[in-house]
Structure 1
Amino acid sequence: MNFHAIRAIYRFEMHRTFRTLTQSIASPVLSTSLYFIVFGAAIGSRMGAIDGISYGAFIIPGLIMLSLLNESISNASFAIYLPKWTGTIYEVLSAPVSFVEVMVGYVGAAATKSVILGVLILCTARIFVDYSIEHPVWMLFFLVLTAVTFSLFGFIIGIWADNFEKLQVIPLMIVTPLTFLGGSFYSISMLPPIWQKITLFNPVVYLISGFRWSFYGVADVNVVVCIGVIVAFLVVCVATVWWIFRTGYRLKP
């Protein structure tokens, strides 16, 4: 394992983040804070509790997941697409590094940014809504696992995309709608029975359900199933990255 290569890629990506703090950190935190103000403090105070949890506190895990998924995908996809666009990706491909080292460097940096963002949003939520974390270790586990998994997914999107517009297609047209329909603002038990069954085909339901359980000990889906779904998607993403580097798909002319 070439740790020098991993450290070089990781440090370069992290330095780029700190050069663009307004875009990378401040903007997502501010956007999510508006949700807390509107849905948590304003509307939430006029709505009933869900599963014994105030509405403002209930939506916190969903809002964090909404930002975490989008930022993980965006950070990783842009990080690998930019070298492709400028042509510097060939320097990486010709260097004595394996796909594992390239993947760990880029994905590790993207996941680190997302975890920092998630923690900042969690701290910001305290200003507007009172909440508790029943299982803090599991909360951190879900936060890191989700950040790594969707950073890998974003890494794949960045390789697949051949223009800047395609970088936003999947996050905006697929991931964001699935997140809103995955129980971010409600419990799926509130839906009619037929829609409860249909909603279980939405993978984001398992992310939000497991994450919410770590806060309040309540979940729409069994926590073991939630972890299994996330790990399975992680394995699929790693296998896809291995195939991409083995075949040179969208990396080599």
Structure 2
Amino acid sequence: MNLHAIKAIYLFEMARTWRTLWQSIVSPVISTSLYFVVFGAAIGSRMQEIDGVAYGAFIVPGLVMLSLLTQSISNASFGIYFPKFTGTIYEVLSAPISTCEIVAGYVGAAATKSVILGLIILATAAFFVPLRIEHPLWMLAFLVLTAVTFSLFGFIIGIWAEGFEQLQFVPMLVVTPLTFLGGSFYSIDMLPPLWRTISLFNPVVYLVSGFRWSFFGTADVHIGVSVAMTLVFLVLCLAGIAWIFRTGYRLKA
């Protein structure tokens, strides 16, 4: 394992974060804070508790997950797309480093940024709503697992994309709607039976539910199922990346 290569890619990507601090950290935190103000304070004060949890606190895991998913995909996809766009990806591919080391560098940096952002949003949420975390270790584990999984997914999107429009297509038109419909702002038990069944086909439901369990000990789906679904998606992403590097899909001219 070439740790120097991983470190070089990782540090380069992390340095890009500090150069674009407003876009990478400040902007998502401000946007999420507005959700807390509107949904947590204004609307939440007029809504009843859900599973014994105040509505303002109930939506915190969903909002963190919303930011985590979109930022993981965005960070990883932009990180690998720009080397493709500028042509420097060929220097990386010709260097004496393996596929695992390339992926570890790019995905590791993207996941780190997302985890940092998630923790900042959690700290910010404490200023707006009373927050408790019953299973902090599970919360951190789920945070890291989700960040890594969707950073891998973003890495695939960055390789697949041939333009900035495609780069934004999946996060904006697929992932974000699925997150809003995945129980971020409500419990799927509140839905009619038919829509509750349909919601179970939304993979984001399992992510939000598992993450919410680590906070309040209640969930729409059993925590074991949530972790299993996340791991399945992780394996699929790894298989997809392995196929991309084996075939050279959109990497080789």
Q: Give the TM-score taking structure 1 as reference length.
A: 0.99
Distance 2:131 2:22 in 1: 27
The residue that corresponds to 2:95 in the other structure is 95
1:232: Cα distance to partner? 0.5
Matched with 2:163 is 163
The amino acid that maps onto 1:8 is: A
- What is the aligned length? 253
Aligned to 1:223: 223
Residue identity over aligned pairs, in percent, reads 73
| Separation (CA, whole Å) in 1 of partners of 2:66 and 2:240 | 24
Q: Does 1:152 align with 2:152?
A: yes
Runs of 4+ in 1 over 6 A off after TM superposition: none
Aligned equivalents of 1:17 and 1:131: distance in 2? 28
Match of 2:113 in 1: 113
Q: How does 1:194-233 map to 2 (within 5 A)?
A: 194-233=194-233
For residues 153-183 of structure 1, the C-alpha deviation after alignment (integer angstroms, 9 at most, x for no partner) is 0000000000011111000111000000000
Question: 2:23 matched to 1:40?
Answer: no
- Report the CA distance between 1:42 and its aligned residue: 1.3
The TM-score normalised by the length of structure 2 is: 0.99
Provide the C-alpha distance between the structure 2 equivalents of 1:205 and 1:22, rounded to a whole number of angstroms: 30
Residue 252 of structure 2: aligned partner: 252
Q: Matches of 2:56 and 2:177 in 1, distance apart?
A: 21
Q: Which residue of 2 aligns with 1:29?
A: 29
Q: What amino acid is the match of 2:92?
A: V
Distance 2:9 2:227 in 1: 29
Q: Following TM superposition, by how much is the alpha carbon of 1:46 offset from its aligned partner in structure 2, in angstroms?
A: 1.1
Instruction: Classify the secondary structure of the residue corresponding to 1:171.
Output: helix
Unaligned runs of 5+ in 2: none
Cα distance between partner residues in 2 of 1:58 and 1:217: 12
Cα separation, 2, equivalents of 1:201 and 1:213: 19
Root mean square deviation of aligned Cα:
0.4
After TM superposition, give the deviation of residue 131 of structure 1 in Å. 1.2
Structure 1 unpaired stretches of 5+: none
Secondary structure of residue in 1 paired with 2:127: helix
